[in-house]
Structures are given as structure tokens and as C-alpha cells.
Amino acid sequence: MPRQIKAALLGFAMAVAISAPAAASTDILADGDLVNRAATVFANKEPPSDRILGIHHGQMVVLDVRCADVCPNYTVRIVHYAGAPNCTQLGGDVVSVDVPRSITSGPEQFCIPHILVSRRLYADKPYQR
């Protein structure tokens, strides 16, 4: 395939990939909106293609999907603030979640929006229910 065609196809693929999650990533979420979005994500076993849920308290909220050696059996999904250095200033809580690693699992800390912690709506094991 000629180089120009490859470059054009790559550019098109990147434009589609970048534009697809843009709508959700720019959604400003109030507490109720965030609760509804997290509940909707956890209602389905398969994670959404867009793992950015929106903006809450000025910080991006993402769905993190973790799986180790036996996927999808031990998959864990966590809704949390992305890259939040000052968790408590955002209104979040630092929560330790047991995530799969290789053939075992171990705790990892995440900055979770307080509204999700209070409703226990921040972590899910979809293939173990």
C-alpha cells in the first residue's frame, strides 16, 4: 500500500478515535449524574467503549478496568478521579481496592468521588456475580 494512503488511513482512524469519546469526556456531572452514570456502567457486564465518564468537581472521572491472568473471570472495574493529586480537596476519598495482579491480587489506592463511596458504587466485579 502506498505511503500516502497509509498516512491518510492512519489520520482518519486517529480522528475517529479522538472524536468518539469527546462528548462523554466533556460532560459536566453533578453528583446525581455521576451516580446514574456509574450505575448504568455497572448494570452491564461489558465495559463501555468510552471509559471517560465525564467531569466532576473539575476533575475527569474514568472507568478503570483491571484484569490479570484469567480474564475476564477476575475483572475489577473502578470508577475514580483520573490523576487527582489532591483527592480530599476535590471532595474525594482515598479508597483501597483489591485489584488482580498476575496470579494474585493486591490493594491499590484510588481517589473516588465521595458520592460514589457513600453509595458503595465505585468498584464492581462483573463476572463474579
State pLDDT tens for residues 84-114. 788 988 889 999 999 998 888 999 999 999 9
What is the grid cell recorded at 28?
A: 459536566
Rounded Cα gap, residues 41 and 18, in angstroms = 21
Kindly report, residue by residue over 34-74, the tens digit of the pLDDT. 999 999 999 998 877 779 999 999 999 999 999 888 788 88
DSSP string, 93-117: EEEEEEEEETTEEEEEEEEEEHHHH
pTM for this predicted structure: 0.78
Check residues 75 and 19 and name the one with the higher pLDDT.
75
